[in-house]
Chains A and B, each alone.
Chain A
Amino acid sequence: MVRLLKIELRKALSSKTFWILSGLYMLVIATVLFGVQGFLDNIVSSTGNDSPVDIPSVSVYRLPDIWHNLTFIAGFFKIILAVIIIITITNEYAYKTIRQNIIAGLSRADFLKSKVLFIFLISLSATVLLLILGLILGFINTIQPDFSGITEKMIFLPAYLLEVFSYLCFAFMVGFLVKRSGIAIGLMLLYAFIIEPVINYRLPSGFEGYMPLKSINNLIDIPNTALMQLFGVQFRNYISLSDVILVLAYTTLFLLISHLVLKKRDL
């Protein structure tokens, strides 16, 4: 397993594209997460002036709520990681290295395994990045947090890991099926932002949460801030087991499809 991961890392770590996109991701995440409080404060203060009710100020960074808030916000940017994954797999086709890897002595299953390990490592790194940012922001903005005050809602971190991993497995499958980076990225965006939302809209009520990307995004619901409560909306502030099972099932399906295609395909 270490060997397979090593192979994959050697391919990625010297690639300029990989570093540019990863750097972009880290930059975007850090900027958004550090800036989101100021952005919200701005909205609250500007609308608060002529609002009949008192708009409560929102504290994004207070431990332990910060885990829910940050994972929810970061979830919007996993698309950048998805692009990285698509490029890594489509490059193997463009360079024909997938073929040469098998010829040299990887089994097709090994090849898939090495990619999945890489996807997991990327997801884990994204989660660790959030953990670090969360701890920094949390400690700065929380008055005397105790241990349980820090860890209480940390369950959102593994949920975020699953969210990213599953989403990247979807991107991997698309890249794998399509083989060409441009078409694969376009297709993924088309599906994520148009096709699936349209299908969801057409589905009878009660079923809309079961589509693949929707269920992945549902893992972490909108944070239940005081602001939201003001509107009388109640969002789920926990991770539901049935969501986790559904997402795990979809992830398995993505990988299974990739596996079957790889098995049948001439390289």
Chain B
Amino acid sequence: MTRTILTIDKLSKRYGKIRALDELSLTIEKGNVFGILGPNGSGKTTTLGIILSVTNPNSGSFSWFGRKPSKQDRKHIGAIVETPVFYPYLSAVKNLKIYADIREVPYKEIERVLSIVDLTGRKNSRYNTYSLGMKQRLAIAAALLGNPKVLILDEPTNGLDPRGIAEIRKLIIQIAREGITIILASHLLDEVQKICSHVAVLDNGRNIFTGQVEDILGDSLQVEIGSRDNNAMLKAMDDIPEIISCEKEGNFYIATLKDGFHSTDLNQALFAKGISLSHLALQKKSLESHFLELLKNNGKTA
């Protein structure tokens, strides 16, 4: 009936004088791969702690699946907050049996989730003999016990080597394809850009932007350009209405183009005016520049 998975309403959390969360509101719909993006200390982990009932908010509320939070609903949420957490002296299987008992899931599920994360071969080794990548994969396996409707990941690739990062990202995308809603907290823009469909940007415990990742990336195109005679080039550019703005960056200029006006169009237009470019590089406007812009603006208003 309802497509809303999670509603967060004006959550605030203080640690002494520090405001970790300041009236944060957020809605996450079914099927989203929702990125929570923000610098370290922006309140990402605090938010996850609250919605998972391990951190008590000072004020505000949240609801899962339109209901008041309960342990029963938590059993359908798979979550890894901060680092993977297991009993170090137990094997993967014994650890998962504990979580299977907590989630009231039959033990036969364990084989399934271990094969998803490709740990079947090491399932009887003690957890403290695992590499960081394996620990992270085991954490994902534990989170997948009981076919969760939602998967929450907090900096899932933190500290992993490039191969480990690639494995985890592949795994997340694979899980998302099965229709599981994913909430991913990260300070890595690149990660959010690659994996997420939606994003909320947090700064100082406030939600300063929410929207689709596509919207941020797709609204305009940036090209890096240069020519022998930059002054003549700039003058010629004034007459092209499809150029929104142009800023000097290093030896070149960054031109922001209107939707539908491509780099070839720009090249042709300039050539027609007698300007030949010595440099032309496509620059998709990255989440990073948008993100930094948001943070800058937020800093001004705060």
Contacts and interface: CB of A to CB of B under 8 A. Distances in A.
Interface of A: 3, 6-7, 10-11, 14-16, 95-97, 99-107, 110, 264, 266-267
A102 B54 contact: yes
A99 B85 contact: yes
B94 A103 contact: no
B56 A105 contact: no
A72 B161 CA distance: 60
B99 interface: yes
Contacts of B81: 99, 103
Nearest to B90: A14
A104 B76 CA distance: 9
Contacts of A97: 85-87
Given A14-B89, A97-B87, A267-B55, A107 B71 contact: yes
17 contacts: A3-B101, A6-B101, A10-B94, A10-B97, A11-B98, A15-B89, A95-B86, A97-B87, A99-B85, A101-B102, A104-B142, A105-B75, A105-B103, A264-B56, A266-B54, A266-B56, A267-B49
Instruction: List the 4 closest A-B pairs by CB distance, nearest first.
Output: A105-B75, A100-B85, A267-B54, A107-B71
Nearest to B143: A104
Contacts of B159: none
B150 to A, nearest CB: 12
A15 B95 CA distance: 12
Given A6-B101, A10-B90, A11-B87, 10 more contacts: A7-B101, A15-B89, A95-B87, A96-B83, A97-B85, A97-B87, A102-B54, A104-B102, A110-B71, A266-B56
Contacts of A11: 87, 90, 98
B274 to A, nearest CB: 65
B52 A103 contact: yes
Interface string B56-77: 1000000000000001101100
A72 B99 CA distance: 40
A202 B204 CA distance: 53
B151 interface: no
B49 A266 contact: yes
Interface in B8-42: none
Nearest to A264: B56
A69 to B, nearest CB: 38
B85 A95 contact: yes
B88 interface: yes
Nearest to B105: A105
A249 B42 CA distance: 46
Contact of A16 (B56, B79, B89, B94): B89
A14 B94 contact: yes
- Chain A CB within 10 Å, residue with most, of B89, B94, B102, B104: B102
Interface in B114-128: none
Nearest to A18: B89
Nearest to A92: B87
Contact of B79 (A96, A103, A264, A266): A103
Nearest to A104: B102
Nearest to B72: A105
Contacts of B87: 11, 14, 95, 97
A95 B86 CA distance: 7
Contacts of B56: 264, 266
Contacts of B88: 95
